[in-house]
Each structure stands twice: as C-alpha cells, then as structure tokens.
Structure 1
C-alpha cells in the first residue's frame, strides 16, 4: 500500500524534528538542550514534539529504529525454510551493505556517537535495550519451538544472537570513534559477521527453521 499524503507529511515532520534535535544535541550536548529549544528550532510547538516523541531520548533513539522487538521481528519475518540464526545473519549483512543509519554507518555519525556516549540516559537506554531485545527474542523462539517452561535453549540461542548484534554495533561504534569511513567499516564488519558465523555449530545455525 502506497503512503498517503497525510502519512507522508507526518513522517517528514517527525524526521525534521528529530534531525533538528540531533543537530542541537551534537552542538550543545544532550543534557544541555530542552524540548522547548528543540521545538523553537524546528518551528513547531512543544506539544507537537511530544506528539511525535514521548520522551526526549526518543529524538535520538526512535522506537521504530531502536525497538526491543527488533530481533524478534527479524525472526518472525523470516522465510519458510530459514532458521532463526540465518535470518539474523542475513539481515545484519543486508543492513551493513546498505550502510543503514540504524547501525551508525551513515556519514557524520561519529559526532552523534560522541554525543550519545556523553549522555548517561542514552547509554543506559542502549544497555537496557540490548537486554530487552534478548528477552523478546527468547520469548519468540520459545513460542515458535514449543519449548517447555524453563527450557534454557531458547534463551541460550537468544543470547548468542543478541551478543552478535551487540558485537556488530560495538565494532561499528569503535571504528567510527576512531575516525574510519563508513565504507571501510562496512567491509570489515561483514568479515566479522562471516567469522562469527563460521564459529557457530550446526545446532545454532539450524535452530528454529520456519516450516510455514
């Protein structure tokens, strides 16, 4: 279904507010900029900002890009005959090749990363998000495989895949902070993903194959 005019305008407004906010946060520090100042710079009301972003942290980490259901949704959307692990590996490779913003592979992300690392509420949110992703994925895997209550396997697999996701983001962040270009980082991270996949056993690689 194509995007309607109203939906497109809402998306554009949301992106503009977020973009303005991030520029302000990078220039002055996340904790030093108020929602009111974001509203003035974006030429909207404070209420409009809150209509699009429930809390200040959402301006930097929008829920649709930094969702605790991210890994679970990747698994849910996998094709018939594909395992949960292969689905996550495939998506990460696609996003790295596409240098997607959600991974921090866009130009200029280095300054954004510095801003985020200097804001305790943002770093705490990222840490909490990583744990929530694993919990959501474990629940998804347990439901799909019909695992008995207390079966540790779904959570063990979820931790493996969550750790892989964290490793990719951490490597991108480390290399970005070092000043490396997105294209160079992307190539090296693809090799890192391949290396991690080679270390995975058959049981992990073949876990939770979608049957229908």
Structure 2
C-alpha cells in the first residue's frame, strides 16, 4: 500500500515561505550587484528579517546562491537509481544529460537569465570553489551508488573510477554551456556544441564503462 505523506503543517509552511522569500531576495541582489558586493545584512534588510534569521536558514552566503545544493549533489546518483531495466548506469546518465540539453532543462542552464547567473558565479572565487566542492561531493555520492547498484564491495576501485568519468563529463558539458552563454554565444549554438560533446564522449568511453551496472529485471 502506498504511504500518504503527512500534510504540511502551518509552521512548516511558514518556514518554507520564509526560506523561499529570503532566497529570492538574495538571488535578485546577486544578479544585480554581483555576489561579492552583497552582504548578509543588506539581504536581511531588504527581506525584512533579522540577520540571525537569514543565518538560521542559510549558514553561509554561498548557501544562498546554491540554494538547491543537496538536490544537485544527489542528481547523478538519482539518475542511476532510477534507470530502466536493461539500461546501464553510464547509458542512463548520458541519456539524461542529452535530454537536458535537447529540452532546454533548467539543469542544463539553457534557460533565460542563466547567462547572468553563470557570469556572477564565474566572477566570484568563493562561488567557483563552492561549485568545485559540490561536484566532488556528487562524484563521491555517485561512486557509492554505483557500488551498491553493481553489487560490489566498497573497496572495489571501479565504481570510483567510473563515477569520476561521469561526473567529469557532466561538469565539462555544463561548464561549457555556462561559459559560452556568459560570453554571449547564442543559446542554439551553445546547445549544438554541448550535443557534439556528448556525441564525442560516447566514442571515447570503453565498452566496459558504457555497459557498467546494467539493471536486470526485478
């Protein structure tokens, strides 16, 4: 029997709205002024909350910029866990990355306004460093997921190696999209370049990597 999630209470709903409000205010300020030029005090003042309230929801200023960090860190693992019967882990990841680009998914960055977001991020060493740490956390999480899905011991070296390759492919494709958009390249041309990268990478991966952890029937 499917479990029914409990209804969101008034207190939880209020907290969620407050968090979203603070995040929206901060994002607007970052896009207008740049990340490093904005202070937590200024965000709190415009959001009409206390500085302590901002810190209660977002322990660091970088948390305000990357307010969906946990979702992004877990994304590759989630793609692998949700792959179809007969699909390999690598095949699932490459298929979703391709679909992100073709359908102009927000994950790909091929959406209006992303070029400004990318420019703000690339101009801040703190944000670039935070993004790098998020990418490493995602690769580590993917390695654990691959080991579980392949049914191998945690000490097996293969999941970590494959995770590094898949995370690197995602980073290269999306980093290229962000840099081209920030440089003013047309979104259509940017998407075409990303798809060319994905075409090329499939020819570079070995059969073992492409066929790793094929999901069997239940």
Fold match by TM threshold 0.5: yes
1:140 aligned residue: 145
Provide the secondary structure at the position in 2 that maps to 1:81: coil
Q: Does 1:169 align with 2:171?
A: no
Matched, 1:94 2:99: yes
1:118 aligns with 2:133: no
- Contact 1:138–1:155 under 8 Å retained in 2: yes
Task: Say if 1:36 and 1:46, in contact at 8 Å, map to a contact too.
Answer: yes
- 1:156 is aligned to 161
For residues 107-155 of structure 1, the C-alpha deviation after alignment (integer angstroms, 9 at most, x for no partner) is: 2222222221222221111111121111111111112222234322111
Within 1, Cα distance between the matches of 2:148 and 2:29? 43
Could you tell me how far apart the structure 1 residues matched to 2:92 and 2:190 are?
22
Alignment of 1:6-45 (within 5 A): 14-45=19-50
Q: CA 1:48–1:71 in 2, change beyond 3 Å: closer, same or farther? A: same
Q: Which runs of 5+ in 1 are unaligned?
A: none
Secondary structure of residue in 1 paired with 2:120: helix
Corresponding residue pairs, total: 212
What is the aligned partner in structure 2 of residue 69 from structure 1?
74
Using the size of structure 2 for normalisation, the TM-score is: 0.83
Does residue 107 of the first structure (1) align with residue 95 of the second (2)?
no
SS of residue paired to 1:40? helix
Q: Is the 8 A contact 1:107 1:182 kept in 2?
A: no
CA contact (8 A) 1:66 1:102 kept: no
TM-score under structure 1 normalisation?
0.85
Tell me, in whole angstroms, the C-alpha distance in 2 between the residues paired with 1:52 and 1:96.
Answer: 32
Q: In the superposition, relative to structure 1, how do residues 100 and 42 fare at CA in structure 2: closer, same or farther (>3 Å)?
A: farther
Distance apart, 1:164 and its partner CA: 0.6
| Contact residue 99 and residue 182 of structure 1 kept, 8 A | no
Where do 5+ consecutive residues of structure 2 fail to align?
Answer: none
